[in-house]
């Protein structure tokens, strides 16, 4: 089959390669010439496991270009950003991609939208644009099939996750199923267009609300002298409870955005909006922790560890670090940032030594695995404070290195034992004092 994939970003490019690997002839189309040149040169990031091997196997059947060719099937994976001032989906890229496809649409072709969109978009926006090709509604197939892959394990999950396929009618869903079955090993579930679009949004909204609940629990735990991390672990022993982890806020281009797409056409969304607010305001809570840790320090310097929106990825889109930095700087706090994975960020990223030299407080925002290997004894801090917003570091080790440690969601503060006392308490670990802040 000849397949055209429009939009060669995080989702479109691996999808195109998996289809090529399954034996199809794949033309990748992107309006950004730099992307097309880079992919045709074979300049592929090794950030995603399995990606380089997949490219080596599939590149013979993959080619990128800026023009849409004639093909048997078209898959649209273009961005659907949030129009932030109005909290509504911006569908300009989808419209323009559908228009490009319409100009090459022939009888019997299949068009699949993969971009995340408000319910009704494929039926009300994409199909009418495709009809402008001159074909009648029964002369082409249209489907919606979103992606559920997690950044950092995209190739494996694209292959193994179950997927939901919505069809313009049953034949469209079946045609799309045939196409995806060529590389997906998970089960392909068929439904109608609107339901498939809706499912993508409720999955991420469910996760956003679960995180918001965990964040609310974390703040209530702090007010009650309780450690949310211990409480959550024990609550999750209940067979029907699965509370998410609290943290400094929600980022990325899915969980922080998709709930707004769900509310586009509805007035029944109080809980969803509240959850968005809870998560959006977690950076304020983190800044309050920073102010408390540095309150007696003149011109405090703070080091942000991790600006990616989640651990072990290089993606800083919608990261809560943005808001933490902005709010802290507005308080007169000097902020330095270190993230060994992120390549592009609005603020300069420094090496660990540069970012921590003379710093008064380290704030762990992203739980990259590599941060667990930091030796706190080697940091040339002016004052030794650590705020761990993800509860992911070895706190005993940091306290042993002289740091005062505060963990989000835990009212206790871990303080190092003063040296003189430590020498008196023979045989006991340094971390023995748990002082309520």
Ligand X SMILES: NC(=O)c1ccc[n+]([C@@H]2O[C@H](COP(=O)([O-])OP(=O)(O)OC[C@H]3O[C@@H](n4cnc5c(N)ncnc54)[C@H](O)[C@@H]3O)[C@@H](O)[C@H]2O)c1
- Binding of residue 118 to ligand X (CB under 6 A): no
Residue closer to ligand X (CB basis): 115 or 314: 115
* Residue 151 makes contact with ligand X by CB under 6 A: yes
Query: Does the footprint of ligand X cover residue 320 (CB under 6 A)?
Result: no
Q: Tell whether residue 349 is a contact of ligand X (CB under 6 A).
A: no
Nearest residue to ligand X by CB is 9
**Bridge partners of 302?**
335, 361
Q: Which of residues 78-97 bind ligand X (CB under 6 A)?
A: 78-80, 93, 96-97
Q: Decide if residue 159 touches ligand X (CB under 6 A).
A: no
For residue 282 the two structure tokens come to 């977690």
Report which secondary-structure segment, H or E, holds 74.
strand 73-76
When the beta carbons of 253 and 384 are compared against ligand X, the nearer one is 253
Of 24, 253, 323, 336, the one binding ligand X by CB under 6 A: 253
Residue from the set 1, 31, 125, 431 that interacts with ligand X by CB under 6 A: 31
Closest CA to 402 of 388, 381, 424: 381
Q: Is 393 in the site for ligand X (CB under 6 A)?
A: no
Burial of 125 (0-12, 13-18, 19+ CB in 10 A): middle
254 is a site residue for ligand X (CB under 6 A)? yes
Q: Which residues are catalytic?
A: 200, 254
Stretch in the footprint of ligand X (CB under 6 A) among 108-116, 220-228, 271-279, 345-353: 108-116
Find the part of the chain contacting ligand X (CB under 6 A) among 4-12, 226-234, 302-310, 323-331: 4-12
User: Cβ of residue 352: shortest distance to ligand X, in angstroms?
Assistant: 28
Do 74 and 102 form a contact (C-beta atoms < 8 A)? no
Verify binding: residue 9, ligand X, rule CB under 6 A.
yes
Residue 186 binds ligand X, judged by CB under 6 A: no
Which of the stretches 27-35, 127-135, 279-287, 383-391 binds ligand X when contact is defined by CB under 6 A? 27-35
**Which residue's CB is nearer to ligand X, number 118 or number 416?**
118
Q: Is 145 in the site for ligand X (CB under 6 A)?
A: no
Confirm if 91 and 57 have CB atoms less than 8 A apart.
Answer: no
With respect to ligand X, which residue has the nearer C-beta, 100 or 218?
100
Binding piece for ligand X, criterion CB under 6 A, among 77-85, 231-239, 380-388, 404-412: 77-85
CA–CA distance, 30 with 53 (Å, rounded to integer) = 22
> With contacts defined by CB under 6 A, how many residues of the chain interact with ligand X?
28
Element housing 26 (H / E): strand 25-29
Stretch binding ligand X (CB under 6 A), from 145-153, 206-214, 376-384, 428-436: 145-153
Which residues contact ligand X by CB under 6 A? 6-12, 29-32, 35, 77-80, 93, 96-97, 100, 114-116, 146-147, 151, 253-254
């Amino acid at each position: 089959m000849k397949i055209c994939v429009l939009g060669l970003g995080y989702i479109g490019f691996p999808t195109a390669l998996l289809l090529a690997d399954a034996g199809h002839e794949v033309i990748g189309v992107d309006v950004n010439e730099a992307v097309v040149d880079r992919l045709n040169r074979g300049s592929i990031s090794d950030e995603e496991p399995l990606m380089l091997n997949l490219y080596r196997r599939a590149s013979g059947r993959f080619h990128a270009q800026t023009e849409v060719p004639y093909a048997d099937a078209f898959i649209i994976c273009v961005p659907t950003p949030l129009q932030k001032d109005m909290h509504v989906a911006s569908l300009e890229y989808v419209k323009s991609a559908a228009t490009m496809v319409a100009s090459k649409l022939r009888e019997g072709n299949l068009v699949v939208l993969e971009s995340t969109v408000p319910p009704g978009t494929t039926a009300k926006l994409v199909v009418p644009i495709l009809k402008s090709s001159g074909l009648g509604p029964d002369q082409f197939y249209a489907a919606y099939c979103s992606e559920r892959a997690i950044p950092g394990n995209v190739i494996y999950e694209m292959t193994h996750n179950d997927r939901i396929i919505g069809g313009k009618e049953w034949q469209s869903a079946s045609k799309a199923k045939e196409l995806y079955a060529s590389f997906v090993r998970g089960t392909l579930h068929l439904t109608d267009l609107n339901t498939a679009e809706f499912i993508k949004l409720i999955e991420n909204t469910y996760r956003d609300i679960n995180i918001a609940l965990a964040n609310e629990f974390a703040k209530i735990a702090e007010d009650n002298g309780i450690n949310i991390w211990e409480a959550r672990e024990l609550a999750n022993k209940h067979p029907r409870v699965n509370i998410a982890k609290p943290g400094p806020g929600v980022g990325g281009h899915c969980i922080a955005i998709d709930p707004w797409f769900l509310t586009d056409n509805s007035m029944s969304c109080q809980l969803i909006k509240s959850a968005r607010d809870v998560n959006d305001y977690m950076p304020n809570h983190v800044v309050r922790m920073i102010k408390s840790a540095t309150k007696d320090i003149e011109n405090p310097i703070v080091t942000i560890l991790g600006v990616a929106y989640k651990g072990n990825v290089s993606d800083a889109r919608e990261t809560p670090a943005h808001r933490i930095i902005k709010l802290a700087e507005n308080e007169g706090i000097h902020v330095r940032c270190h993230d060994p994975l992120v390549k592009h960020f609005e603020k300069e990223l420094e090496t660990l030594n540069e970012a921590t030299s003379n710093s008064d407080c380290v704030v762990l925002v992203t739980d990259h695995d590599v941060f667990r290997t930091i030796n706190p004894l080697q940091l040339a801090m002016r004052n030794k404070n650590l705020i761990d917003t993800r509860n992911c570091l070895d706190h005993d080790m940091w306290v042993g290195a002289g740091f005062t440690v505060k963990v989000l969601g835990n009212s206790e503060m871990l303080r190092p034992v003063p040296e003189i006392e430590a020498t008196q308490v023979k045989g006991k670990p340094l971390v023995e004092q748990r002082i309520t802040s």
